[in-house]
Amino acid sequence: AWKSPTRSRSDMSTASGTRTFKVSVEGNIASGKSTFLDYFNLSPDVEVRTEPVEKWRNLHGHNMLALLYKDPTRWALSLQTYVQLTMLQMHTKPHERPITIMERSIFSARHCFVENLYHSGKMPTPEYIVLDEWYQWLVANTDVHVDLIVYLRTRPEVCLARMYERDRKEENKVPLAYLNGLHELHENWLVRQVTVKPPAPVLVLDANSNMSDMEHVMEEYREKIMGRS
């Protein structure tokens, strides 16, 4: 389903005068973003920018992601402040190829992850406001635009199974309730569109199937995702 276009193709010029098409791939934890990005990474026209999770796991020797899951109330603000910085860096890095596909965005960090931490009582209101003030300023004063959002829509139970299967040590105690909360926020934002308006048209893909089925889906939508149809 295509939703609410906000930006025309003619807006896509960059400082260097060339055009680029920027896509963000959104979805719950372990929804299959990496597989999706691996597929497009094979195309010579596409630059893939993966989520800077390795930076979050090693900030001058500190594992911020592990701290978040160990004691969210204490560390949510620190991690999400750093996530916001690394997302900003990912958005604003000069593009190298005509199409840039990014894993998540500054938008989902704010509207899904920060929102989830706040609404589940893990982030006090003053901290939430500080992050939001930063977010609002960055969106208004820097170029973080995207031209298309691809939403990998996955049932939280499927994500939970994939998360346990991949066995990332920081995530071994993440409960289904946390994934449910993130799922509802993605749905409200990208499908129901009842919270904030998405910053670009949204392509919703069913990502519950196994990887070979996903390959067919990606093949089918390939041209659309690369901004060519």
Active-site residue set: 103
- Listing DSSP states for 172-200 in one string gives TT--HHHHHHHHHHHIIIIIS--SSPPSS
| Pick 20 or 205: Cβ nearer ligand DCP | 205
Decide: 28 and 229 in contact? Cβ < 8 Å: no
As measured in angstroms, the least distance from the Cβ of 60 to ligand DCP is: 18
Q: Which residues pair with 22 in a beta bridge?
A: 100
Q: Are 84 and 109 in contact (CB under 8 A)?
A: yes
Asked if 26 touches ligand DCP (CB under 6 A), the answer is: no
**In the complex, minimum distance from the CB of residue 170 to ligand DCP, in angstroms, rounded to a whole number:** 6
209 near ligand DCP (CB under 6 A):
no
Smallest separation, CB 137 to ligand DCP (Å) = 18
Q: Does 65 bind ligand DCP (CB under 6 A)?
A: yes
Site for ligand DCP in 93-122 (CB under 6 A): 109, 113
Tokens of 123: 């982030």
C-alpha closest to that of 149 among 42, 55, 36: 36
For binding to ligand DCP (CB under 6 A), which residues are involved? 27, 29-34, 51, 53, 65, 68, 83, 109, 113, 171
